[in-house]
Each structure stands twice: as C-alpha cells, then as structure tokens.
Amino acid sequence: MIELGLADGSLIDELMELTAQSLSQREIQEHFNIVKEIGRGKYGKVLLVTHRFRGTPMALKVMPKASTKLQGFLREYCISLHLSCHPCIVGLFGIAFHSNEHYCFAQELVGIPESSVKRCAVQIASALEFIHSHGLVHRDVKPENILLLDNHCFQVKLADFGLAQKRGTMIRFITGTLPYMAPELCTVALMEGQKEVTTPPLSVEPSLDTWAFGVVIFCILTGYFPWERCMDSDDFYQEFADWCTMEETPTTEEDVPPLWQRFTSEAMEMFSKLLAPDLAKRCTVGEVKAYVEKDWLKKLNGIEPQQTLENGKIRE
C-alpha cells in the first residue's frame, strides 16, 4: 500500500482497497449529459455534466488511463473523499468509476452565493461607470481582473488598465478571441491563418465593457463561460443570439438555451440587455442595479441552487 504520511493514512489505504474492489465500469455518456469542458490540467480534465436520470449538475473529473495509474487515481479520489467533510473543501458525491479509456469521479458544484455575486456586480458596475464618465473604456473586464478583498464580496476592486483606451479610438484588428469579447469586437479578430481583416475598423465604446460585464456575471454565477467566442461558428453563442432575436415575442421556458435555463425570467431580461448582440439595444452597465432586488437563480424546492467556481479565476 502507498504510505501517505497522514495521521490516518491506514484509513486511506483501506478506502483505496475497498474502492478498488467496488469500482464499476460504465461509459460516461450512458449516465451523464456532458454540457461542456470547464477545466483542463496536466493529468486530466473536468467536465460540467448533469446526471441523466436525476438531473443533478456536477463536475466530473476525467483522467485518461493511458497516463494515469489506477493507484494514483484511487489515491486522489480517496483522499478527496476522506477530506470532503470539511466545509472549506470541495465535496464529492461518492461516485467513482472507470470507462474503457478513463478513470472518473464526481465533485459537487459549490461557489459564491447569489447575494455575494450581486454585491460584486454592483461594485464593478460602479467602477465601470466611473471609468466611462472619464471618457475611457477598460476593454479587459474578466474574472482575473476582479479582486475580492473579503469572502463575501463586501469590498471588490477592478484592476489592470493595460488595455484601457479613450472612447472613440479606432481598432483595425485584434489577434484571436476570448469568451468575454463582444461580437462586434470578434468581427475584427485576426484568426489563425488569416492575413487580414476585411471588416471596417471598430470604435472603442463603453458597450464593449457592458458585454464583458454580462459575461462575467454569468461566469461567477455558474463557474464557466457561456461560449468560447461570439461568432456564428460557436453553437453556444449562436443559441443565445437566436434566443435574443426571439426575446421580443412571447417565449416559453423551453425556448431558453440549455445553459441559461437555471436563471429566472428577470435575470434573463437583464442578460438580454447586457448581452444584446444588437448594439442599439445593449444597455449601460448601471442597468444591473435595477435587478439586484430580484432573484437571478431559480429556486429548487425553495433552496437556492449551488454554483461553481471550478473554472472561475476570481482572485482573493
């Protein structure tokens, strides 16, 4: 057995032995709906999934058998399981299995409460309003640039002005895209293998920050970005853009894209303004203040659903 150097290492060894004996084989797609990848590291990746029969959202850690020894997988899983009783350590569902190509175990989705997200959003909106009032655009609003000075978001600061520019500055092109870039900014993106951009130069406007701000709110509520890039080739973005064109007419809950169905109708109204693909319909960042007294996440049996920061980059 592996010596762990823990006071209760013998218990971990017993857990590993019992888990190895009961480790079942199943294919991921048979039991889980894969929503998207939310993290990747040297030894594997993390998938956002929902249980096919119960609908429970969870983070599924997937480790390739080709580069992972069974003992290494068992060690990580059993240590995680043993320590998960602590309130500050991510919890596990007690689900571990192997497929033809992977070892897998399921983690709970935990994160910032909605009330804290709202406090964060109001403060970042205030910072952006101040920036815009001085004729500047931040241009780099993203989770990495939001600093939390306490665990409950009572004090939040916006950082990094390396990309800030005067309003009205013309951009001829940018290199590549990121999830928080507005669709109009993506039109001047120089993609891999592309030598020039054929679209006209883009004027730097506060609406670029509004879009990024909307994406950040989604990100810190869910723990992942809603799309990879705001282009027609991205199915997740296209689903949302299509929904926005329907938004003026009555729609049912089933019309809302799957990634957005956890949000209330009031939250979706807010997102439709912050993330309006049509620039003429996009609101200012301050509009979020009108929604802080409303629920953003749907209640499940009267309980606020848990969120995740599995792939979040907010720094403390």
Secondary structure (DSSP) of 36-69: EEEEEETTEEEEEEEETTT--EEEEEEEETTT--
C-alpha to C-alpha distance for 85 and 101, rounded to whole angstroms: 30
Coil, helix or strand at residue 144: helix
208 and 190 together in one domain: yes
Q: Are strands 170-171 and 165-166 parallel, antiparallel or unpaired?
A: unpaired
| The two three-digit tokens of residue 109, written as one number | 């989705």
- Binding-site members are 61
Work out the pLDDT band at 248, boundaries 50, 70, 90: low
What contacts 179, CB < 8 A, 6 or more positions away?
Answer: 215, 225, 226, 227, 228, 229
Angle at 174 between CA 190 and CA 162, to 5 degrees: 155
250 in any annotated domain? yes
The tens digit of pLDDT for each residue in 41-54 reads 778 888 888 888 77
C-alpha to C-alpha distance for 107 and 96, rounded to whole angstroms: 10
298 in any annotated domain? no
C-alpha to C-alpha distance for 90 and 80, rounded to whole angstroms: 8
C-alpha to C-alpha distance for 149 and 238, rounded to whole angstroms: 36
194 and 93 together in one domain: no
The tens digit of pLDDT for each residue in 133-175 reads 999 999 999 988 999 888 788 999 999 999 999 999 999 988 8
147 in any annotated domain? yes
201 and 121 together in one domain: yes
176 and 82 together in one domain: no
C-alpha to C-alpha distance for 210 and 125, rounded to whole angstroms: 9
Active site residue ranges: 140
| The two three-digit tokens of residue 17, written as one number | 């032995």
Work out the pLDDT band at 252, boundaries 50, 70, 90: low
Q: What is the 8-class DSSP label of residue 263? A: B
92 and 151 together in one domain: no
- Binding-site members for ATP are 61
C-alpha to C-alpha distance for 112 and 110, rounded to whole angstroms: 7
pLDDT at 1: 36
Range of the domain at 273: 114-291
The tens digit of pLDDT for each residue in 266-303 reads 999 999 999 999 998 999 999 999 999 999 998 754 44
Backbone angles phi, psi at 36, to 5 degrees: -170, 165
**What CATH number should be reported for the domain holding residue 16?**
3.30.200.20
140 and 262 together in one domain: yes
118 and 249 together in one domain: yes
Our count of domains for the chain comes to 2
pLDDT at 282: 95
96 and 173 together in one domain: no
**What CATH number should be reported for the domain holding residue 238?**
1.10.510.10
251 in any annotated domain? yes
32 and 139 together in one domain: no
45 and 156 together in one domain: no
Work out the pLDDT band at 254, boundaries 50, 70, 90: confident
256 and 129 together in one domain: yes
pLDDT at 110: 59
